[in-house]
Structure 1
Amino acid sequence: MRKSLLTAALVALLPVTLIAEERGPVTNLPMPRFVSMKTTEGYVRRGPSRTHRIDWIFKHPGIPLEITAEHGHWRRVRDRDGMGGWMHYSLLSGSRTVLIETDLLELRRSPLPDAPVVAQLELGVVARVRECAGTWCELAVQGYKGWAPKSHLWGVGADETID
């Protein structure tokens, strides 16, 4: 009897201490997750097939998108503003990019608030992610490389590490 009470007590603690990461049913990759648009034009449809109506056309290659669902060869995506729908997976890339959310964001030589400034990035610029650790990400954009705080970027999770 004591063993079953102890087991029940441990099981009751599991949801608090172990949080299961949701995985996509098709790819078994984490959900939600960020990707980027591979092509210069990407049709966003109302549902997961070519017979569904096109609601949006994304026209910025490399723009970060968040995958929120999977169905066969289709991924439900949303952009920074929450707009989106279903896109064919062939239009998406695993290459990571971010959208700059602060005007004249200072890109720094190292991940320190007082490190020398390498460049200033305008609001809405898309940058390639090279690495993320802690609260900083190393970015590359138009020949410049440097570090920026995650809190000023859209396209990377607050607790996400990228090597």
Structure 2
Amino acid sequence: MTALKLRLLAVAICATVAAAHGAMAKDARGPVTNLPLPRFVSMKASEANIRRGPSLTHRIDWVFKRRGMPLEVTAEYGHWRRVRDHDNAGGWVHYTLISGVRMALVQQDLLTVHSRPDKAAPVTAAFEMGVVARLGECTIDWCEISAGGYSGWTPKTTIWGVYPEEIRE
């Protein structure tokens, strides 16, 4: 085979493997919980050591210090979950320090939320960037969030803690 044919064959193989991996990743389940991987959770504790590996003997790389912060679980091993935050910082955390309660992180300064999922709907509140809000119902483009006694609908693209294709009732 010529060098060009070998390169084309390598590209085709890589594309096939990537497509298969994408299909598998979409339907992946955790080997411990049988819950979807990846998935969003939140910090149950006010402080959590994030370790380099799944045991107490591994070095602590980070300490997350914000109760309710949304995290994405990307792997499971025994009582440990590999998580990452909105900045892609992460590592392994003990499962008792996280919760299945869904939260969202506001990613836009003075984010206005509306009374219904419509830009023309009345504004009910404005949230500062970095606010951690409880995640409610989500349509294909909008999510309902609440924090500090205020709630409303916002476009999904303005928050972190929900997948673009995710719908919540």
- TM-based fold match above 0.5: yes
Aligned-pair identity in percent equals 57
Look up the equivalent residue of 1:67 and give its one-letter code.
V
- Distance in structure 2 (CA, Å) of the matches to 1:128 and 1:98: 6
Give the alignment of 1:3-152 within 5 angstroms.
Answer: 21-152=27-158
1:131-151, Cα deviation, whole Å (9 max, x unpaired): 111211111100001101101
| TM-score (normalizing by structure 1) | 0.87
Unaligned runs of 5+ in 1: 1-14
Contact 2:25/2:37 (8 A) holds in 1: no
- Distance in structure 2 (CA, Å) of the matches to 1:46 and 1:67: 15
Spell out structure 1 runs of 4+ moving beyond 6 A. Answer: none
Unaligned runs of 5+ in 2: 1-20
Cα 1:18–1:95, aligned 2, differ >3 Å: closer, same or farther?
Answer: closer
Cα 1:18–1:27, aligned 2, differ >3 Å: closer, same or farther?
Answer: closer
| TM-score (normalizing by structure 2) | 0.84
Deviation at 1:43, TM superposition (A): 0.6
Structure in which a larger fraction of residues adopt helix: 2
Cα 1:50–1:18, aligned 2, differ >3 Å: closer, same or farther?
Answer: closer
- Distance in structure 2 (CA, Å) of the matches to 1:139 and 1:155: 11
Cα 1:66–1:19, aligned 2, differ >3 Å: closer, same or farther?
Answer: closer
Corresponding residue number in structure 2 for 1:9: none
Corresponding residue number in structure 1 for 2:161: 155
Q: When the two structures are aligned, how many residues end up with a matched partner?
A: 150
Contact 2:133/2:146 (8 A) holds in 1: yes
Deviation at 1:18, TM superposition (A): 10
